[in-house]
Chain A
């Protein structure tokens, strides 16, 4: 069981918008920055969003991130077939068992 909870799958049509949620607690999301990663089939994860809502150079503004309380959300607009991938949230957990934690991942299907 992952410390951060993501829906196993989401789907939407090309051109539409989708959101992926990531739920945690005060020891992780509530008090630390969240980052998001895209893993295309057969490839390594790639950073999409850092510090809750910042995009690295080269990431299109179709991708956005937000955080409220102990939850974070990744938004993708103008869906493309090339966006089909697994998406992971992650953050530092400051509990007694401190360490970096990832969500279980969400499979995005572009119908």
Chain B
């Protein structure tokens, strides 16, 4: 059974770059057949899709975040990562990683999420 676990700093200063990693266990990213996703949830608010990556490196990003987002994959470590640049307090959120079958499909499973606070 595939499991995902987010990791990274819980506190980032304004204007800096937020960096998170999702480690996949119980399955191999390089096997293909799935896209790997980042989704965030602002405190007390709804869900916002950030983007996907395939093991080959092909990516799709939320147009509203595209200029600041980079999602990458490291198949040797069975991990994929999120970088969000020029962060502000508005980027404070719980960040989830999740798996999806293909572009436009549902998300399952999800990681437990990690809270990132942007503050000086």
Whether A99 pairs with B105 at a CB distance below 8 angstroms is no
Interface residues of A in 52-91 (CB under 8 A from B): 56, 88, 90-91
| B1 CB → nearest A CB, Å | 11
Q: How big is the B interface, by class?
A: 20 to 34
> What residue of chain A has the Cβ atom nearest to residue B111's Cβ?
A44
Contacts of B34 in A (CB 8 A): none
Whether B106 pairs with A35 at a CB distance below 8 angstroms is yes
Residues A50 and B104 in contact in the complex (CB < 8 Å), given A44-B113, A90-B47, A99-B62: no
Which residues of B pack against A, CB within 8 Å?
Answer: 46-49, 60-64, 96, 103-113
Q: Report the bound CA distance from A46 to B103 in whole Å.
A: 19
Whether A47 pairs with B104 at a CB distance below 8 angstroms is no
Residues A51 and B47 in contact in the complex (CB < 8 Å), given A44-B111, A45-B96, A99-B62: no
Contacts of B49 in A (CB 8 A): 90, 99-102
Whether B107 pairs with A35 at a CB distance below 8 angstroms is yes
Contacts of B107 in A (CB 8 A): 35, 37, 45, 47, 90
Q: Report the bound CA distance from A88 to B107 in whole Å.
A: 12
Q: Report the bound CA distance from A33 to B76 in whole Å.
A: 33
